[in-house]
Amino acid sequence: MTDELDALNALHDTIVAHINEYLPESLDDLSGTNVLIDFPDVDKMAARTMIYIQPDYAEFTGLTTSSDDTSFRVSVFVLNKRDTRDNLTIQNFGYYAALTKMLRSNCDLDGAVAFVEIVDVNFYPAVEGNPNVRGAELSLSIKYEKEYD
């Protein structure tokens, strides 16, 4: 792993490749258009369910003269809209649970990083003050060796 963009792309690609394996049959499959490296924008959601990946910050510990041990914090937002409020809550928790299971069973993002840890999660019954949009925000810590070659 060379830098933070590689880690973001690895997280994106792993979610796109594996999330559907963990979804219950009652939820629609997701594709690459449902997962973006971007800040969430409820008004511009391309689909009823979106997953947004947003970098937060990184911490570095010197490892060698040409590399650092990196802990990269990333927020992953799961947003659902365009359904009844009860169904939105069920959908949001379903997609959140699938994402959590996927990350716990593939904690190295298909070998791209050393380890991904779910640090905490916040749930939102209304996003941007809109009770017709439900959300979950996962805070992840992605650990890898950053190389400066």
The domain spans of the chain are 4-147
Specify the CATH architecture of the domain 4-147: 2-Layer Sandwich (3.30)
pTM: 0.94
> Above 80 in pLDDT, residue 43?
yes
Report the pLDDT value the prediction gives residue 1, as an integer from 0 to 100. 59
More confident position, 65 or 140:
140
pLDDT over threshold 70, residue 138: yes
Return the HEC string of the chain.
CCCHHHHHHHHHHHHHHHHHHHCCCCCCCCCHHHEEECCCCHHHCCCCEEEEEEEEEEEEEEEECCEEEEEEEEEEEEEEECCCHHHHHHHHHHHHHHHHHHHHHCCCCCCCCCEEEEEEEEEECCECCECCEEEEEEEEEEEEEEECC
The mean pLDDT of the chain is 94
Note the pLDDT tens digit of each residue in 24-36. 999 999 999 999 9
